A and B are shown apart, each in its own frame.
Chain A
Amino acid sequence: MAEIQIKGLNDFSRYKSLLSELVRKDIKKKYRRSVLGVLWSFLDPLLRMIVLTIVFSALFHRVHNYPVYYLSGQLTLSLFTGGSTQAMQSLVSSSGIWKSIYVPKYLYALSSVLSNFVTYALSLIVLFAIMLVTNSEFTVFIIFASLPILILLVMTLGVGLILGTLNVFFRDIEHLYSVFCLMLLYALPIFYPADILPEQFKFIQTYNPLFYIISCVRDCFYYGKLYSLNDIIIPTIAAIILLGIGIFLLKRYQDKFILYV
């Protein structure tokens, strides 16, 4: 029976400028006071790629063009783990604001995902540069990568909202999730070929929607072909379900946040 009616407060257009301010802030703060600035976005994946290529390309020598294989997977996974982690933390770290001014809390999660997407878009430059250097073929299918990436963004937001809501009540979710993200890195074929997994462990891949996303992105960038319908439908359904759960949890519990932060 408790209700608050405040005119225009739920109007999204009112918060469009806040959303763009928040994305701008995330990016600005990420690179502020670092000498290399935006270069970090390029340097970080580049250095990882060099190390892993040296270590693993001999081991997995049947993977041709290992750098492009690795980068296309790693960048995509980083978008997910980085975005969902930041979105999760954003609900608590923005408490100073929503404790004193009414703002829709999902905005903070959404802006975290979007700012990670900007970083991702920048790091794609590295991928393209490596593709150029290694003489990879640029096919028209690269454009089709935007669909799985869009689905990934939805999924990232959903997971971010779910974990963010839990994180308000149980602050150790953050630590658990960082371990989980590390497990994801090893469970997904990022730096090894997908088929090295024995048959009895295949479920690690088939039950992981991220596996399909990475396959789709790799199809576009690395194999230069279109992904299968199956590979795109499974993560789409997963993303919609995850976002649904996230919105439901946030709606249900957001009024209690202030009592726990």
Chain B
Amino acid sequence: MSKKTVIEVNNVSMEFNLSEEKTDNLKEYVIKLLKREIHFQSFWALNNVSLKIYQGEKVGFVGLNGAGKSTLLKIISGVLKPTKGSVKVDGSIAPLLALGAGFDMDYTGRENIYLNGATLGYSRAEMDKKYEGIVEFSELEDFIDVPVKNYSSGMRSRLGFSIATSVSPDILILDEVLSVGDLSFQTKCQERMRTVMSEASMLFVSHSVSQVRKLCDKAIWLHKGSIIASGEVNEICDQYEAYVKNL
């Protein structure tokens, strides 16, 4: 069975302005404009990155800090617009880019399930059907009516992961969000990825190479904004670990 391409990234480059003189208020801006102090210091976080991800593939991204992993995931999820290049995504995305993103801190867990569901494009009625499953998987039955601001980071990531995987997206994007859960929850997540999410594609960023090995079947190694290597997960992870050791 030939798998269809769900994500196609073509020659994507991303430029940031690193200027330290960046202002966020009018007063400073006018003063700096008058003193001619507005500079532009360019930094390319991604250089000509191209990749294809097929349906059902679990892809891990490895690389040092600042390699452009998170930037790439943000571009794929449509949050960040690339300076150059194009991205084609065919399917629904559930991004978990940051802990508790999309949660309202004053809202209870229950209310956040509906809010987060709506953010991902699901109506109240649809979320009603998934509600029980979400609560059960997140193991938050006792805390579901507590405002999320009182949750621990582990509880937030459990709730976020439960919601994101319950809406059965075609593509799941996880950026460093599983590392805070305890071991038993991490095992549960892996189990869920293998069963419920087996048809979905996953993009996974983690600094824990062992987690990448466990969860993914393919890996991409990014370095300073470019893809150095991509291929079978253990092969790439071995290469990456050898490189990190020799630093």
Write the residues of chain A forming the contact surface with B, with a CB cutoff of 8 angstroms: 1-9, 14-18, 20-22, 25, 28-29, 32, 96-103, 169-173, 176, 255, 258-260
Q: Which residue of A is nearest B25, CB measured?
A: A172
Contact A101 B115 (CB under 8 A): no
- Judging by beta carbons under 8 Å apart, are A172 and B120 in contact? no
Contact B78 A9 (CB under 8 A): yes
Given the complex, which residues of A lie within 8 Å of B228, measured CB to CB?
Answer: none
Q: Are B114 and A100 in contact (CB under 8 A)?
A: no
Q: How far is the CB of B18 from chain A (nearest CB, A)?
A: 11
Closest to B17 in A: A259
Indicate if the CB atoms of A101 and B24 lie closer than 8 Å: no
Q: 8 Å CB contacts to A: which residues of B91-117?
A: 91-93, 95-98, 101-102, 104, 106-107, 111, 114-115
Contact A4 to B81, CB < 8 A, known contacts A21-B118, A169-B24, A170-B25: yes
What distance in Å separates the Cβ of B59 from its nearest Cβ neighbour in chain A?
18
Contacts of B81 in A (CB 8 A): 2, 4, 255
A residues near B95, Cβ cutoff 8 Å: 100-101
Contacts of A18 in B (CB 8 A): 118-119, 121
The answer on a CB contact under 8 Å between B89 and A101 is: no
Which residues of A are found within 8 Å of B78, using beta-carbon distances?
4, 6, 9, 102
Contact B120 A101 (CB under 8 A): yes
In contact, A100 and B25 (Cβ under 8 angstroms): no
* Smallest Cβ-Cβ distance to B98: which chain A residue: A100
B83 and A2 within 8 A (CB): yes
In the bound complex, do residue B89 and residue A5 qualify as a contact, i.e. CB atoms below 8 Å apart?
yes
| B90 at interface, CB cutoff 8 A | yes
Are A4 and B121 CB-contacts (below 8 A) given A97-B102, A255-B81, A258-B80? no
> How long is the Cα–Cα vector from A18 to B102 in the complex, in angstroms?
12
Q: Kindly list chain B residues whose C-beta atoms are within 8 Å of the C-beta of A260.
A: 22, 24
Counting residue pairs across A and B whose Cβ atoms lie within 8 Å, the total is 115
Residues of A within 8 A of B114 (CB): 21
B25 touches A171 (CB 8 A): yes
Asked if B122 is at the interface of the complex by the 8 Å CB criterion, the answer is yes
A171 to B26, CA, bound (A): 7
In the complex, which residue of chain B has the Cβ closest to the Cβ of A260? Answer: B24
Q: How far is the CA of A8 from the CA of B121 in the complex (A)?
A: 10
Bound-complex Cα distance A155 to B218 (A): 52
> Which chain A positions have C-beta within 8 A of B23?
170
B79:A99 contact, CB within 8 angstroms: yes
CA gap between A32 and B85 in the complex, in Å: 46
Task: Report the nearest B residue to A103, measured CB to CB.
Answer: B119
A179 to chain B, nearest CB (A): 13
Partner among B22, B88, B118 whose Cβ is within 8 Å of the Cβ of A17: B118
B65 proximal to A (CB < 8 A): no
- Chain B residues with CB under 8 A of A96: 98, 101-102
B192 within 8 A of A: no
Indicate if B214 sits at the interface (CB-CB under 8 A).
no
Could you tell me if A7 and B86 are in contact, using CB atoms closer than 8 angstroms? Answer: no
Q: Which of A100, A102, A170 contacts B29 (CB 8 A)?
A: A170
Q: Tell me the complex Cα distance, A16–B26, Å.
A: 35
Flag whether B152 is at the interface (Cβ < 8 A): no
Contacts of A20 in B (CB 8 A): 118, 124
Which B residue's beta carbon lies closest to that of A169? B24
Best-surrounded residue of B75, B101, B118 (most CB of chain A within 10 A): B118
Closest to B104 in A: A25
Which of B88, B115, B119 counts the most A-chain CB atoms under 10 A from its CB? B119
**5 A-B contacts (beta carbon < 8 Å):** A2-B83, A21-B114, A21-B118, A28-B111, A170-B24
A17 to B29, CA, bound (A): 39
Q: Mark B69-84, 1 if CB is under 8 A from A, else 0.
A: 0000011011111111
Partner of A4, one of B26, B87, B91: B87
Q: Can you list, as one digit per residue, whether each of B178-216 has a CB less than 8 Å from chain A (1) or not (0)?
A: 000000000000000000000000000000000000000
Chain A residues with Cβ below 8 Å from B91 are 7
Q: How far is the CB of B231 from chain A (nearest CB, A)?
A: 26
Q: B122 to A17, Cβ gap below 8 A?
A: yes
